[in-house]
Amino acid sequence: MTRIGFRDIFWPVLGIASITFHLWLIFAGLVPNLISRPLHMAFALPWIFLLSPKGQPVGITAWLFCLVGLVGCGWVAFHQSALGDQYGILEGSLQTIMAAALLCVALEMARRAVGWPLPLIAAITLLYGLYGNLIPGEFGHSGMPLESFLGTLTITEGGLWGSLTGISVTIVAIFVIFGAVLNAGQAGAGFMNIAAAVAGRLDGGAAKVSVLSSALFGSISGSASANVASTGAITLPAMRRLGYPRALAGAVEAVASSGGQIMPPLMGAGAFVMVELTSTPYEAIMLAALPAAFLYFFAVWIGINAFSLRYDLPGVPANEQPKLRIVMITTGFFAIPFAVLLWGMFGLQFTPQYAACMAIVVAAVLLLTDERFEFDVQKTLHRVINAAETSGKQIAMIASIILCASLIVGVLGMTGLGVKITSLILSGSGGLLWPAVLLTALTCLLLGMEVPTTAAYVICVSVAGPALTELGLGLLQTHLFVFWFALLSTITPPVCGAVFIAAGMVEENWLNVAMKAMALGLGLYLIPLGMISTPGLLSLADAPFIALAATVKVGLATTLVGYGVIAPGPFVKRTAMISAGLVILLYPMP
């Protein structure tokens, strides 16, 4: 009999407490932000600092950071009314020490969650806020007292507890819970089965199953790494067993999985951040992003067809394809909650988070059974524990990123640095749109290589977005363009997280996988440019026929470039295809 230890009870209980807290916030009405947001951070702290592999002790430093963070969050939440009357100015050395400690804990949370680059950028930004008044010339600032600077970041809604953190608390966390509950049940099997049934028999069928399953799974996971690890565990062995080259198999999974962050509804939390930054309804962002996301997976599909001209890429054997009955049953495990979500948002006109709560309840009920409609107490308990722990970990991961990004945005706002960088981009581009677009794209690519996609998007759009809108781009057009280019780092060397994971799973040199991934993922480079030349691509809600025409135009351009790069043939013919594709892509269209 397996012995149940303290940690086997603590983490599921903490996960359930985190789920309960975030769901309660949706139904509780108006909870003060200086209560809900610090408690959101408090629930994330143990997952970041105290969760270690079984058998490995937690260091004293981790305990210290966690306890200091819990005390700091509790202090803000308990005294929120009195702190609100201080108007962002700390009183006394104890408050100053507490504020500085909270900032250090937030930086260390991000470091442990996603590595050094993001907290390093945040730390440099904080130092600029403290000492930027010593910098001569345009890029200096007038300075501010320490008590006011730290107070704005920690006891008001201008830093740690800003609007980005609010999105993490009230929307992102709810959809993370929704995805975790779905995937704890049979939804993942449903994704794989329907993908195998639709695409398994085609040429390159095993690769196309990866594309479809990653599109479906990515629509709720919003994480390229999670997508590779989950769908890749099934699709990569299948491709290797059928003789697909290792590098190509890894590239297919990395590229398909990266699409999860541009696929509604989650978009790697980007959609919800976009809601706050653009004041655009969530439904409008989903509809605007949908044609481009469809084009991305279409481009990957076309790329697989082009690679099939180079390699023998067989489909999945008939005896390995799921039976229709199993496909129909397992599809219901994600189709029913999704239907409830869409009905709640578009039918009942509920907010996205309220509709997601309804879908979570339905998905939780489905945890009671499986594709054989059997009820097993032990299996159900395992699914519940899985959902609770996954929810807690993923909420904590996203909270760590957004809290750190909120510090950067807060300092940019206080010092005016964002306006100065915008001015630099405008002057560097000579007031011309395309040079400014390319400068922004380069910035997104460089920053995205070391910073998680959502944080890279927030930082880039904060400093470069105003320049693009001033040059004539629409607000949502600018934000989606920046978000897509922030995602390039998942498949572009030298730092390409999805490629590293896929390469490890197929035991192939990561650079070989990356080269194939960049060719297969051309849509990630081209489609954002299509958003600039063809803004109608984003107008599905307001002008569906224009959006359809724009989708055909950008799709044709991507197809020509993709075949020119990947498919075998004479150099002149391939060059002509690439050139024609780029002309079609960049030719202006409403």
Question: pLDDT tens, 194-238?
Answer: 888 888 888 888 888 888 888 777 777 666 777 787 778 888 888
Spatial CA neighbour of 221 closest among 262, 282, 255: 262
Q: Is 62 within 8 Å of 50 (Cβ atoms)?
A: yes
**Environment class of residue 127 by beta-carbon count within 10 Å: exposed (0-12), middle (13-18) or buried (19+)?**
exposed
Residue tagged 């920690």 (tokens)? 154
- The torsion angle over the Cα atoms of residues 292, 294, 297 and 303, rounded to 10 degrees, is -80
Start-to-end CA span in the chain (Å)? 67
Q: Mind spelling out the 3-state secondary structure of 164-208?
A: HHHHHHHHHHHHHHHHHHHHHCCHHHHHHHHHHHHHCCCCCHHHH
| Helix residue spans in 343-376 (DSSP H) | 352-366
CA angle 165, 13, 171 (to 5 degrees): 25
Cis ω for the linkage preceding 317 (within 30 of 0) = no
Residue 59 DSSP symbol: P
d(CA 126, CA 69): 19
d(CA 365, CA 328): 18
**Residue 6 neighbours by CB under 8 Å, 6+ apart:** none
**Residue 42 neighbours by CB under 8 Å, 6+ apart:** 69, 70, 73, 74, 77
CA angle 70, 223, 482 (to 5 degrees): 100
| The two structure tokens encoding residue 373 | 């409609």
pLDDT value of residue 277: 86
pLDDT value of residue 382: 93
| The two structure tokens encoding residue 177 | 């819970």
CA angle 334, 339, 340 (to 5 degrees): 105
d(CA 509, CA 566): 20
pLDDT value of residue 2: 52
Residue 290 DSSP symbol: H
d(CA 124, CA 120): 6
CB atoms within 10 A of CB 299: 27
Residue 500 DSSP symbol: H
Spatial CA neighbour of 547 closest among 484, 584, 590: 590
Spatial CA neighbour of 222 closest among 257, 255, 251: 257
Q: Is 548 within 8 Å of 325 (Cβ atoms)?
A: no
Q: Which residues of the chain have pLDDT under 50?
A: 1
- Reported as half-sphere exposure (CB side, CA atoms, 13 A), residue 316 has a value of 25
pLDDT value of residue 3: 63
Residue 159 DSSP symbol: T
**Environment class of residue 253 by beta-carbon count within 10 Å: exposed (0-12), middle (13-18) or buried (19+)?**
buried
Type and span of the H or E element at 314: none
pLDDT value of residue 1: 44
Give the number of residues written for the chain. 590
